[in-house]
A and B are shown apart, each in its own frame.
Chain A
Amino acid sequence: MSAEPVDAAAAGARPGSAAREPGAAVQVRGVHRTFGRGRSAVHALRGVDLDVSPGELVALVGRSGSGKTTLLNLVGGLDRPDQGTVLVDGVDVAALGDDEQAELRRDRVAFVFQTFGLMPVLTAAENVGIPLRLRVAPVAERERRVELLLDLVGLAPHALQRPDELSGGQQQRVAIARALAGSPRLLVADEPTGQLDTETGLSVMALIRGVVEAEGMTALVATHDPLMIALADRAVRLVDGRLVGDA
């Protein structure tokens, strides 16, 4: 990682915004993001400020189109804001080049998607091992970690099965195991239970809650699910691209 941590205030913290939290895992300041131009422009985010403390699990709540996913993408380095700053562990994500953003995602941030985002051509174990391969981890270490994580999510017997041979809940567990593989500092989850039935969703939520606590990582989870909101340390609400306070 070549990018140096920056001072959030100096990097454009908006006067009068929420108090800066020193040592925050995620600091979002005055972020705007607009898609399209002219009359068809969609203002996804309109001056969002957000701080997430290390080890905190924050639920991001809002209706469809409120900007949840856009905010997660910006935090995870999958997109760039039109205006404002996004700091992750003190690093200005938007200022990073493409390769540096890739390194950020590889080393510090992990994702869990509603659609699982697994590679259908790889086995569950191979999917989990991908982040470690991207870090060029030693083979033995990788295999040990994959085994541990699959065991953690209760899928050790399914290690050699491909995603299309697994149920939706099992696939999401594999995705969570993969997210944990690189020992990230930040977990970004976009409606991780959106495609799961209630019971399976509950177990997945419990798993996320558990690993966040066990691994000591920070988590930002977009969700509609009240149970997930209940499990979070804090819930913040987005309405029409604006953060309107804790839910």
Chain B
Amino acid sequence: MRVAWRRARADLWPLLVTVLVVALTVGLTDAVPRLLTSRSDAAVRDAVERADPPADLVVTSTYGAGMSNPESGEAETRAGVDDAAVRIQQAMPRSLRPLLGPPAADATSIDLTLSTPKVPSGGVLWMTYLWAGGEPAVRWTSGAAPGPGADGTVRLGLSGAVARVLGVGAGDRFEAKKPDHTVVPVLVTGVFEPQDPHDRVWAARPEVLEPRIVGPDGAPTTVVAGLLSAASLPPARAALEPDGVTRTFRFPVDARALDYAGSRAIVQKLAALESSPDRLNAPGPEPRLTTRLGDVLTQARQRVSATWSQAMVVLAGLAGAAVLVLLVSADLLARRRSTALRTLRARGRSLTDIAARSAAESAVVVGAGAAVGLALGAAAARGPVTWPWVVVVVVAGVLAPPAFATVTAARSEARRVPTDRHRRRMAQRVRTVRRLSVEAALVVLALAALAALRHRGVVSLSGPADLALAAAPVLVAAAGALLLWRAVPPLLGGALRVARRSRRAGGLLALARARSTGAVLPFVALVVVTTLVALCGALAGTARAGQTDGSWDSVGADALVRTPTPSSTLPDVAARLAAARGVDAVAVGRVQARANLFDAPGVDTVRVLAVDPRAYGELLARTRFGAAPQLATLAGASREAATRTEPGPLPALVPTSLVGAHPSLRWAGVTVDLAPVGPAPALPAQQPDGSSAAPTVVVDRTALAAVARAVAAARAAQTGVTLVGPESPVADPDTIWAVGPGAAAAARAVAPTGADVVGRAQWLADRRADPLAGGLLALVALVALVCAGLAAVVVVLDAAATAPDRARSLATARVLGLRGRDAARVATGELLPPTLVAAVGGVLLGVLLVGAIVAPLALRLVTGQAGDPGVVLPWWAVVPVALLTATVVAVVAVESSARRRERLGQVLRVR
């Protein structure tokens, strides 16, 4: 015991390095999966909470034609709506019940057109019965709640706001028309105010409380809803025969009850329910279950799964790097103890005994490191230990020292290079064949893992069997390191040839030692950890740059204002926005996400951007898309078309594949011939909702309106049918883009009511605050930091392993007349070249690796882009090169300092 302790104390710092490496790796590989689990749950809940429209479960059912009885009274309403909601809730699968809040139900009419004093035309009326555990609580300001009536008149109540818009009051009558123009007489029995306008009962039909105006400015439509009571619903149903009322049972989803682990089963259960809604005991002939919950959960699961897999790739890399560092550390220990080990062996100690003693020591050391790591991991995130990578690191840490000790002890001290040239060559060939076999096997394994990863993608990684797949990058790094290692001797050999021809000693001494003393294990370890730093750097850089690109692709400017319908007032809004402080450029336009295109090979649907080309060009020039001279060309070509009264081709910028074609665009009910004048410039590639934009056609908005009207007029002259009148808003804008530091704030200030304002900075901030993306980037940065530290540790360990020979060699050179400072240069020249080759090679490997796996890693799910992001290497990914150079310089300085304390005459004495 005392001997073991003395031996450990003599090699304290390599053992402490082992403890540190094990603790850091175990801590990270243990804690990160638990942290990810918690972030995954948060991500799933966040996705459901943010779902727009909501991810509620909605059961709809009709009553069936001829199933109404105007005199059935409120009992039938209770049974058909209120009680049905409760029955459906009770019929919900047990696994879904905890997720679902109390149901809300409504029975709502089809769209009816109405005519009242204030809305003689252009009004849409819904008659609706609402229930959410009870009918809505209201205060009747005039009249009373609607009651039964068998005279064919539908009785309903109106909210004060709706009554004012329609210009009716309690006791007034007006007519509503069904789609078949059948008249339904309506009696307003009372006007009410809601006791709680935020009560969930109103959520199903908010138009009961607040009229909604839709459609273009020139022809708005007023949508309102009237409130039926349980008693007035049966006569309403009778008036709306056949089957003019639909029941909707809405079950809100409580996101807090969701977690990632259970979401898969929920998705499967929802799919089963959607295909067989009969299980829900819903009333009516053909009940249907619809919900976005399945899609929302599937998308969230996909992102979580991708993030997990990305994290697993990073953790696998970290574990692999740690294992390599532990091997290097074990090698150093065995070298430092080589004399003692050989002495033990010479005195008859068995190899098993030597291995057991070494294993006992390493078990204590690695156990201590693992305990510290697990404690750190538990402090970071509570939960059961995540074993896979922890086991890998601990097993490698425990087994490596006895393995190296055994091999060292087994080697004969008298082992020499055979003097016989033939035997020397044979031994060399055997070593070469053995090495080539190992290298070839590793290269094949790495390529197979990489090919599998590229083929399957990380999103499909699901279980422990895929851990090997997650280790593909580290395997590729190791294989690349071996190949690079093969390149080092020729490189050093070339430099050595030059040094041999020189007059000086320094280069020869340094390079001869570098070439002869380099060991493959530290080199591979150094390349792998450097590759991982570059890989993490490139992942982080690519993700962040991709997020920025994604913000431009989604928003298209610093601020985006969209109105639900085209509005002729937007140019005025744009003018106010342009005058605001901090706004550099503004463009207004019409964006049609999908429009049909004819006579266009390979393209049948396009996105149409109808803009003022000059203004939009000036705006684009201030974005990352850059200047677009094609827009100036379009502006020039469209000048004549903007004043055209006769049909003719419309100048357009089209997808590159369509330049030279003669496509036609379907627009506002007419077909417009396009005259391509050039390719469309680089444009935002995504719709604001994140979906990928179709190929884009850019036209002059004024010219589009003129040409469409001219075509419509010509057609009207032929057919007598007027589709587009001279005042029709065929190309009214619905979008304003603005750039400038104050664009977002100014857009919010001037945006019309109901318009959607999106700020690019906010979009980016939201994306970066995402728990998954943020967590992944934090992990990547942390692992990069740890790997950079590991790289420095490898350099120190490698230098320590060769330090005695180097000291002896330099002492000899100093005895021969080499000056002290020149000795430091020789030491630097010995250590630095392989280190730099490893560092630079590792960085290049990391970048190549990211290029190869950026698609299968599904980084687009992190960046929010429609396509895979381009690889970006941040400046700090090359820090390892500087760090390792600095480490070498520090090691040489420490060694030089130690040499100064050493008496030169003693170095060459018999040992």
Contacts and interface: CB of A to CB of B under 8 A. Distances in A.
A121 B904 contact: no
Interface core residue of B417, B812, B909, B911 (most chain A CB under 10 Å): B812
A115 B818 CA distance: 19
Contacts of B422: none
A230 interface: no
B515 to A, nearest CB: 7
A139 B504 CA distance: 9
A26 to B, nearest CB: 16
A139 B501 contact: yes
A69 B508 contact: no
Contact of B910 (A115, A130, A164): A115
Nearest to A131: B816
A9 interface: no
Contacts of A142: 503
A226 to B, nearest CB: 20
B500 interface: yes
Contacts of A134: 505, 813, 816-818
A241 to B, nearest CB: 15
B820 interface: yes
A20 interface: no
B449 to A, nearest CB: 38
Contacts of A164: 416-417
Interface residues on B, range: 20 to 34
Nearest to B815: A111
A194 B818 contact: no
Nearest to A99: B819
B817 A122 contact: no
B516 interface: yes
B819 A102 contact: yes
Contacts of A43: none
Contacts of A115: 908-911
A130 B905 contact: no
Given A102-B820, A133-B503, A117 B908 contact: yes
Interface string A152-167: 0000000000101100
Given A126-B512, A136-B504, A117 B815 contact: yes
Given A105-B816, A121-B517, A126-B500, A133 B905 contact: no
B809 interface: yes
A114 B904 CA distance: 15
A98 interface: yes
Contacts of A162: 417
Interface in B812-866: 812-820
Nearest to A70: B905
A225 interface: no
Interface core residue of B505, B814, B815 (most chain A CB under 10 Å): B815
A73 B102 CA distance: 96
Contacts of A79: 903-905
Contacts of B517: 121
A130 B505 contact: yes
Nearest to B830: A121
B416 A119 contact: no
Given A102-B817, A102-B820, A119 B904 contact: no
A103 B817 contact: yes
Contacts of A98: 819-820
Given A79-B904, A139-B501, A165 B417 contact: yes
Contacts of B502: 139
Interface in B483-514: 500-505, 508-509, 512-513
B504 A78 contact: no
A138 interface: yes
B817 A131 contact: yes
A106 interface: yes
16 contacts: A70-B905, A72-B905, A73-B905, A76-B905, A98-B819, A99-B820, A103-B817, A105-B814, A106-B817, A113-B908, A118-B812, A119-B509, A120-B809, A122-B509, A126-B508, A165-B417
Given A102-B819, A115-B908, A131-B816, 5 more contacts: A99-B820, A114-B910, A121-B512, A130-B813, A182-B817
8 closest A-B pairs by CB: A106-B817, A73-B905, A133-B505, A78-B905, A121-B516, A121-B512, A78-B904, A105-B817
Interface of B: 416-417, 419, 500-505, 508-509, 512-513, 515-517, 805, 809, 812-820, 903-905, 908-911
